[in-house]
Amino acid sequence: QACTYPCQCPSQPLQCPAGTSQVLDACGCCKVCARQLGELCSLQKPCDHHKGLYCDFSKTHRGSGICLAHEGATCDLLGKIYHNGESFQPTCKLQCICMDGAIGCIPLCSDDLRLPSPECPNPRRVKFRNKCCEEWICEEGGEENRFETAMAVFREDPARKPELNNLQENCLVQTTEWSACSKSCGMGISARVTNDNPQCRLEKETRLCMVRPCDFPMEKTKKGKKCVRTPKPRQSLHFEFSGCTSTHSYRPKFCGSCTDGRCCTPYVTSTVEVEFRCPEGDFFQRKMMFIKMCSCHYDCPRDNDIFLATYHRRMIGDHV
């Protein structure tokens, strides 16, 4: 189809399936849901280039093609082989993709935390039959118990009664600690739950995190020491995320390594807004973790812990 300018894009926000990128169409006008491996594609329906896919027009006709993956290594998960660029669900709770020998997954179930509120004083997660994901239910308690639990979230100032519709003035802010980074090297995600918003509603926040680059060289340990906790910052660098690059350069601290089986993870961190610029020319901002201090311990994440997630250490002392 011919391009028409000025661009006319749908007013409704784009809703793409989990794990599907939003990319610009061939006219450079509108973001569309990228086509995945094996799906039909065209100039107006491009393939997901973030996953190494391209539109092969040799196998079809009338201006349409099929999304294929550039040659790359296959992935082996529990004895089953997946091709480069192939999406799959090892369980009903995970959507995964094979990317040149590495497996990346996103959760399909919400892992949010629900704190007590006047509407739901006793929240509890329940596994329902024939449903994959657990769901929250609100148990009814006695009036006295309901009042005590609700007061943990809401407070009333007797000196100045707030407006009934002003939830924020009557909200006791509660925020969980940031979770551990989802990756031991390279760019990952860290999350927390907070009700620090005008609606006093519990919401999940995420931030980018990088414990260390995957090509991070191992520094020599001092005599008598077996760990390098927080190596000195190297030269400045630009962060990369989803094919986009940070507009400013940074000199971040990373966690080091040990020679006695321990692992080093962030212990004290801060959160900074980082601006990214994409090849298409658009900008966006994401919160990102910056490490202040690391700690070394034996409570290490297991190999391939994207499937075997038993690692629940939390980082403390976040300074926004």
Please, where are the H alpha helices in the chain?
143-151
Alpha carbon separation from 125 to 7, 85, 137 (Å, rounded): 46, 35, 6
Identical fold between 1-70 and 187-297: no
Please state which CATH number belongs to domain 187-297: 2.10.90
Pairing outcome for strands 316-319 and 263-277? parallel
Q: Top-level CATH class of 1-70? A: few secondary structures
Q: Are 240 and 286 in contact (CB under 8 A)?
A: no
Burial class (CB in 10 A: 0-12, 13-18, 19+), 262: middle
Tokens of 300: 């290490």
- The DSSP symbol for 253 reads -
Q: Are 187 and 241 in contact (CB under 8 A)?
A: yes
Q: Are 246 and 276 in contact (CB under 8 A)?
A: yes
Give the side-chain half-sphere CA count within 13 A for 214.
6
pLDDT in tens, the chain (320 residues): 567 778 888 888 888 877 778 888 888 888 889 898 888 888 888 888 877 788 888 766 677 888 888 777 778 887 888 887 788 888 888 888 787 777 777 777 876 666 666 677 778 888 888 888 888 888 765 554 444 444 444 444 444 444 434 555 667 778 888 888 888 888 888 888 888 888 777 788 889 999 888 877 766 666 667 787 777 667 788 998 878 899 999 989 888 888 887 888 888 899 999 999 888 788 889 999 999 988 888 777 544 333 333 333 334 433 32
pLDDT in tens, 234-273: 778 899 887 889 999 998 988 888 888 788 888 889 999 9
Residue 283, number of CB atoms within 10 A of its CB: 10
Domain definitions of the chain by residue range: 1-70, 75-107, 187-297
Whether the bond into 6 is cis, omega within 30 of 0: yes
